[in-house]
Structure 1
Amino acid sequence: MGQLSQQEYMDSINKINQELVQAWHQDFRVKALKITIQCSKYLVDTSVIQFYPSKFVLITDILDMFGKLVYDRLLSKAEYYPALPDNFTANMVPESAKETCRNWFYKIASIRELVPRLYVEAAILKSYSFLTNREFSQALMRLTRMTRGIGDPLVAIYARCYLCRVGMSVSTIDRQFLKDNFYDFLAVYDQLYSSHIKRELNAQKVDITTYLGLYAPALDWILQGLAHRAQHSLLDEIVDKCSGKKNKGLLLNSILSTFKPSYISSRAQYFIKLIESCSGDGLPQYIILKTLGECLQQYGVEDPLKILNLSWALINRLTNPSHFMTCAHAWANFVIKNLSPNEINIFLGDIISHVGFEGKNFYPILQDIITILFSNITDFESLFTMDKLLPLLDLFTEDVKANVCRKILDTFTTKHHCDKFTDPVMIDALIFIAKILHDSVTALTVDDEKRQIGNLISYLIRKIHFGRDFEKQLTFYVEARGTFTNIDSIHVTLVQCVNRLAVETGRIVKSHHTRKTSSFVRACAAYCYITIPALSSAIVKLQLYLLSAQVALFNQCLGQADACIKAALGLIPEIPSAIEVDSKLVSTQDFLRGYICNMLSTLIVVPDCPDQGVLYLTRGLVNVLQHYTEDNNSTIKSELYLNVIDMLATVSLSEYPYHIKKVDSNDVLYGSDPKFITEINKMCSILVEEVLNNLKSLRNNEELKKQSKLAFELFLRLVIHADLENPGMANLSFNLWNLALKHNSLDKTLIVSTNAFICYKFYCYIVIYCEKNVAIYVPLLLSTYCNGI
């Protein structure tokens, strides 16, 4: 198999595994044993030495499968008698099963080659439980002694690793075999640097560092099992024996990888001295320093600065930037978690100086270091005052820098829970990072990514606060508008922030504006008015215009409020009939209803401009609605007209239900002047006529329910707001009532409650009218309504 590629070799091993299982299930036990022996022989071959650990894993999987098959076979033979419990003992096993078990071990003992005999017996080691209760320890010690006969140190240590793994699965108390296996490896450790091994490595063109790295998985596994729950005295003994070796780098690296972090941390200075003495070993010093850094980040030390200084003196000697960055990456957690911002800044400076112009070769490491920095540090103000942070970002190219900045802001928004931050240095740094991220957005950027970036920057903008210095705050928002021009959601956030700033100003002065505060809130209103047109969504612009108008009105900025409302009126025809929400088209009619109601509620308190005429904004709204294009058979326009009628009925009152402080609404300006009321009546007549025309157009069967509902709504407006002394108005309401009841589509409960209301209201009217001798129409109308129910 020496000529096969790695994938072909893996496929071949998997095929052998399938043949083993197939042979076993076909009762070809000898064939299955031969297959297992043949696979074990592959573990003697080191002709492709770099592939040996992978080959070990593949073949030991086959051995494990064979061991399981043998054990299950013996268990099935033993269970011809009463079933064995899980913790059975040898005296519970019938003699026939014991005899079969002995036969297996006799067959394996007859294998001539040492390595296959050792591996196959280790594979079925668990089956000794059918013969005796104490054979495990003796067998493990015997097999351990057998490994001393393996000449190749790489083959020997993996054989010891497999023996230890099997031994730990069957013997949980006696761990002497682990210690013996490790000490046997120490006894032949010098062979790793022998001239024979060097010639073999030269022949295969493998360097000593790569070769020593092949030992690490097996050595780590043995040491890990040995150190598990071990006393410190045993660990000290192991360290002393390893430190006495001439070339101890490999041993020291495995100790740092497998021993408890608490043990390593308490002896950190001693291990640093050992690492310093390993400078000439085959295993590079930077690998051991990397392992020490990874170990110390898991457990604290008493004097972290001293430990860092001792280790960093060794790390700074590394001339290869790749080696230095490997160590810096491993020590980043330790430095950031345990040291002050000043030491962290020096740490970043050393990284910058060692990387130099080769930054593109270390982008993944640099990104991880920045992520660790922002994930673990809590004092963000000190972080952003570091003079090495932004130069570190400059090591990246623009596209990579954008990804790094995104991670920074994402981590910042997750970790930073402070309500506001005001430090100017911190603000400048964050805006610089946000600008890099914003500038990465192009026409090819997908909408979801734009949304995420917009949310991150919007969060940042909302958190920046300059206290009571509102002018500085507004200046910041002006600069932010010029900095972030590509994402609509950021502009929406800016408009909302400026409106909030204007409201806060009005709240502080309690609506008693001075010349200075009045100029300021007007500047805020102008900012919003200028910013909103840059947005692409007509619906968002409509909402912001109305919000800005309400804020301007709150601050007595009547001209700015009028301008925003006029701009909103001009946008209403641009509302699309449907918008996409969660990949589905949704009608905008519900939005339009709610929006017009909100606007009408605002128009109630908006005073008329003397130069524009009576209710000029409301007239403008009605004109816009008349040109609004609705779907066929839709009643949306008539429903909006009915809302306008409700609004007009309210503005005809002598005193409005609500006001804005320091703003004189039309109830104060007109005082229920007859001319004003006449204009309202004219507008109402036009709107009622429009609704009636819509009622006449609803004639098809599928439109009858809409007709009934619309007739009922108009009827309610007339009953509540109209003058029913007028015969024409009384007859109209009567006809509308009959039309509403005609198709039996109204809810019965609604009809009964409406009837009760009408009876109560008209009873009061009759008493009043009779005193004036004008009761001729009302009793007739009342009786007609009552009879209609």
Structure 2
Amino acid sequence: MASVQWHSRTRNYGAESRSCRATAVTVQSGDYHPLKPITVTDSKSCRSARKGSTSSSSSSSGSVIPDPLSSMLEGTDPLSLFAAAGETPALSHSSSSVELARTRGDKEEEVGCDFEPWSAKRGEILARFTTTEKLSINLFMGSEKSKSESAHSSGGAGRPGGRVSEELLNLSQQDYANRIEELNQSLKEAWASDQKVKALKIVIQCSKLLSDTSVILFYPSKFVLITNILDTFGRLVYERIWSMCSDPAPLPDSFSVDDVNDTAKETCLNWFFKIASIRELIPRLYVEAAILKCNRFVSKSGIQETLPRLTAMIRGIGDPLVGVYARAYLCRVGMEVAPHLKDSLNKNFFDLLASFRQIHGDSVQNQLVIQRVEIPVYLTLYSPAIHWILQCVAYRAPDLLLTEMMERCKKLGNNALLLNSIMWAFRPEFVAARATDFIGMIKECDEAGFPKHLLFGSLGRSLACADPRARGYPSSTRPGRSSRKCAVHRTTSTVQKSGWSLPAATSPKEK
């Protein structure tokens, strides 16, 4: 068999390499993605040499290879486009329907003129809850002066890191209110001078004062004064972020997250991150609640997700008096920002019922013994907060929910305080239609905890304010509208003057 002679073929590897080399395409870093279709763009640039320059102009062809993991995509990646192609019309129609329904629901649930605002209660609380004891203010804030002094001297009054302590002792009630108002003005001045960190420190330190119950009889008035500063801070932050979105044109009242630019979103998130770093629970809770409305700039469901979380945070407050006023503030902010979110309001009330037994616990009793405060006087401190919570919950609420709340309160022991607040906050027609049930509940209450004459006074007020048609009066014997107004005026004024006491007896013939 003949053998075959094999010979190697001569190859030009250089020519083969040049012919098989892939053509380099220059793309922008923002347009590059390994799965995105490649679009070739020709761009010619011309560089002219400067006059008098001895160096020749040279074109630089160096380019930075983009990182596919950090590149920006214009829209969705190609793999998701196929799946979303068929769903986009249905989803857009569904989302628009949901948005329209939500907008209609928000308009229907807006707070009307029949809802008594918190501002109408501030003066009454400040006038009612007074004290003759001496008050104190402890503040720890940074100071530019202390920083300069600590830099030049080894010893001084300032704390490390430029922190100074301001302690004011033996203040009267008026001096305390004046000092809080000065802090409110300092907050506005710091904000106007672009000292945002100083403004935040003022708010944090003022919020810490709400954890102090050393003068417990003054706590409701202290709450009113401190929350005024919180309201100022929340308004300033919201207006600042709003102004950042109003560069070409002001935002509409019903704006969405898509209308907010990235700079405003970043600034808003920066505020939330700063507040989240506050170590103590009470100032972190109050300051975040103060800027709750700013969630509209960063998320469509931000407020809806934040309210339940803040409600759960209040469970960590040990003092029941501090906790109930924290719930009152959260309900107040919730009614201003999102009155249609009823679930968070109801959750606050039911959590209040779960912690109501703490009022009669040993820690509270020991505190009352030290401060020489009787339990009936102590219980009246809860009235403004519980009144407000129940007013928010009962606003335009169905009778089924009000009946459930009434039954839940009936199952609790020592429920005279809650019963009094229910008769004050619920619709007068609802109370009048169940007057017999309320009388039975009043009879079962303990006289030592909460005086029964206050309960009967609240019941009488509801009966006087209720529409006579809800009480089953015959049309011929119904009192006139003017007489009902007089009765309401007499009852309300008498109750306010006597500290929620029973109104004076009025003759039926008196008009």
Q: Report the TM-score, using the length of structure 1 for normalisation.
A: 0.39
Q: What is aligned with 2:322?
A: 155
Alignment partner for residue 439 of structure 2, among 250, 255, 272?
272
CA distances 1:513-561 after superposition (whole Å, capped 9, x unpaired): xxxxxxxxxxxxxxxxxxxxxxxxxxxxxxxxxxxxxxxxxxxxxxxxx
State which of 237, 252, 260 in structure 2 corresponds to 1:70: 237
CA distance in 1, matches of 2:212, 2:255: 40
C-alpha contact (below 8 Å) 1:119/1:159 kept by paired residues = yes
What is the aligned partner in structure 2 of residue 90 from structure 1? 257
- What is the aligned partner in structure 2 of residue 108 from structure 1? 275
Structure 1 residue 174, shift from structure 2 partner: 1.5
- Residue 460 of structure 2: aligned partner: 293
Cross-structure match for 1:51: 218
Distance 1:268 1:369, change over 3 A: closer
Corresponding residue for 1:220? 387
> Which of 198, 204, 208 is the aligned partner of 2:365?
198
Work out the CA distance in 1 between the residues paired with 2:394 and 2:471: 23
Partner residue of 1:125? 292
Query: Per the alignment, do residues 91 and 374 of structure 1 end up closer, same or farther by CA in structure 2, a change over 3 Å counting?
Result: same
Relative to structure 1, the CA distance from residue 367 to residue 228 in structure 2 (aligned partners, 3 Å threshold; closer, same or farther) is: closer
Which residue type is aligned with residue 242 of structure 1? Answer: C
- Does the alignment pair 1:232 with 2:368? no
Alignment deviations for residues 40-91 of structure 1 (CA, whole Å, 9 cap, x no partner): 0000000000100100001100000000000111111111233211211111
Matched residues in 2 for 1:368 and 1:145: separation?
43
Instruction: Give me the whole-angstrom Cα distance separating, in 1, the residues matched to 2:263 and 2:437.
Output: 59
Q: Distance in 2 between matches of 1:296 and 1:233?
A: 20
The C-alpha deviation readout for 1:461-509, integer Å capped at 9, x for no partner, is: xxxxxxxxxxxxxxxxxxxxxxxxxxxxxxxxxxxxxxxxxxxxxxxxx
| 1:40 aligns to 2:204 (yes or no) | no
Q: Is the CA contact (8 Å cut-off) linking 2:457 and 2:503 kept in structure 1? A: no
Match of 1:7 among 154, 174, 182: 174
Tell me which residue corresponds to 1:182. 349
Q: Residues 248 and 281 of structure 1 are in contact (CA less than 8 Å); yes or no, is this contact kept in structure 2?
A: no
Paired position in structure 2 for 1:681: none
Aligned equivalents of 1:238, 1:167: Cα separation in 2:
20
SS in 2 for 1:283: coil
Q: Is 2:427 the partner of 1:260?
A: yes
In the alignment, which residue of structure 2 is the partner of 1:244? 411
Residues 139-187 of structure 1 deviation map (CA, whole Å, 9 limit, x = unaligned): 0000000000000000001001000110111112221111100111100
The one-letter amino acid of 1:38's match is Q
C-alpha RMSD of matched pairs (Å): 2.5
Q: Quick one: structure 1 residues 249 and 96, their matched pair in 2 at CA, closer, same or farther if it must change by over 3 Å?
A: same
Seen in structure 2, the aligned counterparts of structure 1 residues 374 and 302 have a Cα distance that, compared at 3 Å, is closer
Amino acid at match of 2:309: R
* Structure (1/2) with the larger helix percentage: 1
Q: Which runs of 5+ in 2 are unaligned?
A: 1-134, 137-169, 474-485, 492-497
How far apart in 2 are the matches of 1:152 and 1:56? 14
Between the aligned partners of 1:105 and 1:228, the Cα distance in structure 2 is 30
Counterpart code for 2:242: L
1:21 to 188, 194, 197: 188
Give the one of 283, 304, 308 matched to 2:450.
283
Shift of 1:214: 0.6
Secondary structure at 2:408 match in 1: helix
Q: Which residue of 2 aligns with 1:480?
A: none
- The aligned runs of 1:324-343 (5 Å cut-off) are 333=487
Alignment partners' CA distance in 2, 1:302 and 1:24: 55
Tell me how far 1:120 sits from its aligned partner: 0.2
Q: CA deviation at 1:5?
A: 1.1
- State the AA in 1 paired with 2:405: I
1:138 aligned partner, one-letter code:
E
Offset of 1:366 from its aligned partner?
A: 12
Equivalent AA in structure 1 for residue 395 of structure 2? H
Is the contact made by 2:429 and 2:471 (CA closer than 8 Å) also made in structure 1?
Answer: no
1:167 lines up with 2:334 in the alignment? yes
User: Any residues of structure 2 matched to 1:654-693 within 5 Å, and which?
Assistant: none
Q: Distance in 2 between matches of 1:366 and 1:114?
A: 40
The one-character-per-residue Cα deviations of 1:206-263 (angstroms, maximum 9, x if unpaired) are: 1111111010101010101101111111001000000001101001000000111111
Is the CA contact (8 Å cut-off) linking 2:257 and 2:297 kept in structure 1?
yes
Task: Note if contact 1:219-1:254 (Cα within 8 Å) is conserved in structure 2.
Answer: yes
The CA distance in 2 between the partners of 1:189 and 1:232, in whole Å, is: 24
Q: Which amino acid aligns with 1:70?
A: V
- CA distance in 1 between partners of 2:244 and 2:432 (Å): 53
User: For residues 71-119 of structure 1, what are the alpha-carbon distances to aligned partners after superposition, in whole Å with 9 as ceiling and x for unaligned?
Assistant: 1111111112332112111110000000000000000000000000000
Summarize deviations over 1:318-343 as a string: whole Å, max 9, x none: xxxxxxxxxxxxxx959x99xxxxxx
State how 1:484-495 maps to structure 2 within 5 Å: none
Q: 1:130 Cα shift?
A: 0.7
Cα shift readout 1:560-609 (whole Å, capped 9, x = no counterpart): xxxxxxxxxxxxxxxxxxxxxxxxxxxxxxxxxxxxxxxxxxxxxxxxxx
Contact 2:414 2:446 (C-alpha < 8 Å) held by counterparts: no
Letter paired with 1:291: S
> What does 1:358-757 align with in structure 2 at a 5 Å threshold?
375-376=510-511
**What TM-score, normalized to structure 2?**
0.60
Q: How much identity, in percent, do the aligned residues show?
A: 48
CA contact (8 A) 2:458 2:502 kept: no
Query: Is 1:211 aligned to 2:374, yes or no?
Result: no
SS in 1 for 2:450: coil
Give yes or no for the alignment of 1:146 onto 2:298: no
Distance across 2 between alignment mates of 1:249 and 1:366: 15
SS at match of 2:367: helix
SS in 1 for 2:340: coil
What secondary structure does 2:247 align onto?
Answer: coil
Q: Which runs of 4+ in 1 moved over 6 A?
A: 365-368
For the 8 Å contact 1:247–1:281, the answer to whether it is kept is no
CA distance in 1, matches of 2:298, 2:207: 25
Shift of 1:283: 1.1
Q: Distance in 2 between matches of 1:69 and 1:140?
A: 21
Paired AA for residue 257 in structure 2: A
Structure 1: how far apart are the matches of 2:296 and 2:430? 37
Q: How far apart are residue 199 of structure 1 and its match?
A: 1.2
Match of 2:246 among 54, 65, 79: 79
Report the alpha carbon displacement of residue 373 of structure 1 after superposing the two structures with TM: 5.8
SS in 2 for 1:297: helix
8 Å CA contact retained: 2:454, 2:502: no
Tell me the secondary structure at the aligned position of residue 171 of structure 2. Answer: coil
8 Å CA contact 1:105, 1:121 repeated in 2: yes
Cα distance, 1:366–1:88 mapped onto 2, change above 3 Å: closer
Cα separation, 2, equivalents of 1:53 and 1:373: 37
The alignment partner of 1:111 has SS state of: coil
The 1:224/1:302 distance shift into structure 2, 3 A limit, reads closer
CA contact (8 A) 1:157 1:185 kept: yes
User: What is the alpha-carbon distance in structure 1 between the residues aligned to residue 503 and residue 403 of structure 2?
Assistant: 38
Residues 174, 34 of structure 1: alpha-carbon distance in 2 compared, 3 angstrom cutoff: same
